[in-house]
A = this chain, B = another copy of it.
């Protein structure tokens, strides 16, 4: 049995693995807001359970089983988010915190039912892929808005961050998944991008354009 707490560590290592190739104790510590000694001891525990590979002073890595278990928690998280948006009328900025709690519920039937009711959605409200029942994830290689050049066209397909502050910022500017943007101008000084969409023109900072994925 994997505890609530252990599930959160697995998810953290999983997410960090998709950001950089090596995941350090420090990274996990920062990500979860838990001190390094605690992370070290949890890594030993997860290693003993066969969920992570751990050697002192080395980066940590999920074992295949650890990856599957992490993906299954993420599946529960994303199905929940999608269900809250699609069937309960929540905004995409409201669902992450609720899903953080419901993802730990041990009731496969609940999540399989959500999946069925929604017709097996491929992505969550933030454009992140939903792993299947076996923990397999479809990977799409999307580009960041910040990587484009002047004159390019871009469709928002995902956001890399689900904090409500950021999503409310996007809501205020009427930016959502599916919005098509034209890159009008890139400021060489701070890389802020002027974009045109839906008869509007706005300047987005690099912080924002780094968090928007699409093609």
Contact = CB atoms under 8 A, between A and B. Distances in A.
A107 interface: yes
B105 A90 contact: no
B97 A113 contact: no
A87 B102 CA distance: 17
A106 B101 contact: yes
A113 B98 CA distance: 12
Nearest to A4: B4
A142 interface: no
Contact of A101 (B89, B98, B105): B105
A170 interface: no
Nearest to A90: B113
A19 interface: no
Interface string A100-117: 011001110110011001
B107 A97 contact: yes
Candidate in A90, A109, A117 with the most chain B CB atoms within 10 angstroms:
A109
A89 B107 contact: no
A94 interface: yes
Nearest to A104: B101
A1 interface: no
A110 B85 CA distance: 11
Given A84-B110, A88-B114, A102-B102, 11 more contacts: A87-B87, A88-B110, A88-B117, A94-B109, A97-B107, A98-B107, A98-B109, A98-B110, A101-B105, A101-B107, A102-B105
